[in-house]
Amino acid sequence: MNFSNKITLHNMLHKLFSGLVASVLLVSCTTDPNSPGLEYMPDMYRPQSYEAYLEKYDIDSVGFYDRYFTKAGVKFELLSKDAQDSILKEVNALYKVYNNGTATYKPVKGSIPLGYNEFLVAKDNREGAKEVKNPLEYNEQNLKEGKVYFNLFCDHCHGEKGDGNGTMVALGVYPVQPPAYNNGPSAELTAGEIYHTIYYGKGVMGSHAAQISEDKRWKIVMYVQTLQGKSPESLGIVLTKTEASTDSTQVSAQPVESTTKN
């Protein structure tokens, strides 16, 4: 094959390939603005598994009926009316197994997540919160952790000493200065009332239930009670000699068992 024939063959192949590409592009086009065009690898776009909480007719899921017919290997439109009715009855029965056609059941109203203990005192029942007791044992370790969590979540507004002079207040960011824990009505708050405030919020303070887990809330409550002026000993916490001789809120890492609970 001489050079000129090679050039001619190359041009023919180039034109043929260009024509095929143009044909594919034209066939893929459609006048329907909602159509995605032809899908050459539908498995890449349409997941075979159902999407959680999406209805089976949803564009992100495989059509329930179409999928069933495909697996059954039937041409629905070619079946008799009786056969169509029979299949539709069977598929509808499967469809109704799911809640309104969704692939996954949503939790029923009032469901409580595993490991979560709901606070049973209502937001508007602050009086009832007075009787709620701290379920955690009053000991050094819990008190120490309570101080750590207080410094993480609370002292920027309430102040490191619970005097209401946190950095947010000093900078003028917080609109109202929080009351001090060691005097006035705040000094008389029970453990349940303090927890109620953390859980639901009060005044301009919002709820911290989503930010702080239950056990951490109660540990914060324990530490706040010392900021109210209650000594650890009055709460049933026996401090080590080293801690008792220094700052009663700087507790050691080793818990000392106490037989007294609040």
Q: What is the pTM of this model?
A: 0.55
Q: Provide CATH 1.10.760 ranges for the chain.
A: 126-245
Tell me the pLDDT tens digit for each residue of 30-71: 666 666 666 666 666 655 565 565 554 443 344 566 666 665
Helices 214-227, 191-200: axis angle to 10 degrees equals 130
Rounded to 5°, the CA angle 135-140-146 comes to 65
Asked if pLDDT for residue 72 goes beyond 80, the answer is no
pLDDT averaged over every residue in the chain: 76
Report the C-alpha gap between 153 and 221 in whole angstroms.
12
Cβ atoms 256, 239 nearer than 8 A: yes
Q: Report pLDDT for 169.
A: 87
Report the C-alpha gap between 151 and 159 in whole angstroms.
9
Cβ atoms 152, 228 nearer than 8 A: no
The residue among 224, 203, 226 whose CA lies nearest residue 212 is 224
Task: Give percent of the chain with pLDDT exceeding 70.
Answer: 63
Domain 126-245 matching CATH 3.30.1490: the answer reads: no
Q: What sign does the CA torsion over 133, 137, 143, 147 have?
A: negative
Token pair of 234, please? 């009055």
Q: Where are the alpha helices (DSSP H) in 202-247?
A: 214-227, 241-245
pLDDT band at 245 (very low <50, low <70, confident <90, very high): very low
